[in-house]
Amino acid sequence: MKTAAHLAHTDREGRLLATAAELAGPEARIATCEGWRIRDLLRHTGAVHRWATGIVAEGLTSPRQRDPAPALDGAELIEWFREGHARLVAALGAAPADLECWTFMPAPSPLAFWARRQAHETSVHRADAESALARDTTATDADFAADGIDELLNCFHGRPKSQVRTDTPRVLRVRTTDTDDVWTVRLSPAPPHTERATGDTYDGVADCELSGTADRLRLALWNRLPLSAVTLTGDPEPARLWREKSAV
């Protein structure tokens, strides 16, 4: 996806998150994040937004710690979140294409990295906020959801710090039913190695396959939906391993 599309999703998802948080109220429990309430979600995501904004706007070439969220609550906390989200969207929109700054995963450029990362960060936490309303989450564009799957599998879990490892090599396949995307995730004692393909161009037999719409697969892989929300075929062990070890 292009940076402009990621920026548009960052804007949309943040607005939806704030609306859901306002409807649910600060005390509402987050069904998808054990122990969290809406206020915890707003503080976390708002702090991430301000942290990313500083890196982009100041062109920082090395990481820095996130500032803690202020001790706000209720309407003041929601307004603080909205203000930080607006600043993030503005900073990404104003950044030059040749922006130089620190990143922590592979991307075509620093600007492409931050636009993509904040789009998916905000989207997953929007789903968290909506889970507090005990209703179905807002539908997400299939191509955007597939892009989120790819970021999780190829970027987050392509890093040495990934804990999704097994002494017995296994192959997990992830297949979307509303796009033409297929990922083959090879599990071993090393970090997972993922290959993305389209249609029937993938290689090899998988021990386990997860299939479903891109949005439901994305949320299941982020442990926001149970595995029963998608279709599992084959040996369930690779899926169980993912469930237990994939937190980032």
Query: pLDDT (tens digit, 9 = 90+) per residue, 15-50?
Result: 999 999 999 999 999 999 999 999 999 999 999 999
Instruction: Compute the distance between CA of residue 115 and CA of residue 228 in angstroms, rounded to an integer.
Output: 31
50-60 residue pLDDT tens: 999 999 999 99
> What is the mean pLDDT of the segment spanning 88-106?
97
Task: Looking at the chain, list the stretches that DSSP marks H as alpha helix, in order from N- to C-terminal side.
Answer: 3-24, 38-58, 74-94, 110-131, 142-150, 214-221, 237-245
Is the CB of residue 142 less than 8 Å from the CB of residue 150? Answer: no
pLDDT beyond 90 at 135: no
> Quick one: tokens of 197?
């393909």
pTM, two decimals, is 0.96
219-233 residue pLDDT tens: 999 999 999 999 999
Average pLDDT, the chain: 96
pLDDT beyond 90 at 204: no
| Single-letter amino acid code for the residue at 50 | R
Instruction: Compute the distance between CA of residue 100 and CA of residue 58 in angstroms, rounded to an integer.
Output: 10
The pLDDT confidence band at residue 136, using thresholds 50, 70 and 90, is confident
pLDDT beyond 90 at 199: no
> What is the mean pLDDT of the segment spanning 106-118?
97
Is the CB of residue 205 less than 8 Å from the CB of residue 135? Answer: no
> What is the mean pLDDT of the segment spanning 173-190?
97
- Largest interatomic CA distance in the chain: 54
User: Which residue in the block uniquely carries the two structure tokens 């719409």?
Assistant: 213
> What is the mean pLDDT of the segment spanning 98-111?
97
The pLDDT confidence band at residue 200, using thresholds 50, 70 and 90, is confident
Give pLDDT, residue 193. 97
Instruction: Compute the distance between CA of residue 185 and CA of residue 193 in angstroms, rounded to an integer.
Output: 6
> What is the mean pLDDT of the segment spanning 179-189?
97
142-171 residue pLDDT tens: 999 999 999 999 999 999 999 999 999 999
Q: Is 141 exposed, middle or buried (0-12, 13-18, 19+ CB in 10 A)?
A: middle
The pLDDT confidence band at residue 96, using thresholds 50, 70 and 90, is very high
Give pLDDT, residue 126. 98
- Which one is predicted more confidently, 137 or 218? 218
Chain centroid to Cα 220, Å, comes to: 11
pLDDT beyond 90 at 134: no
Give pLDDT, residue 177. 97
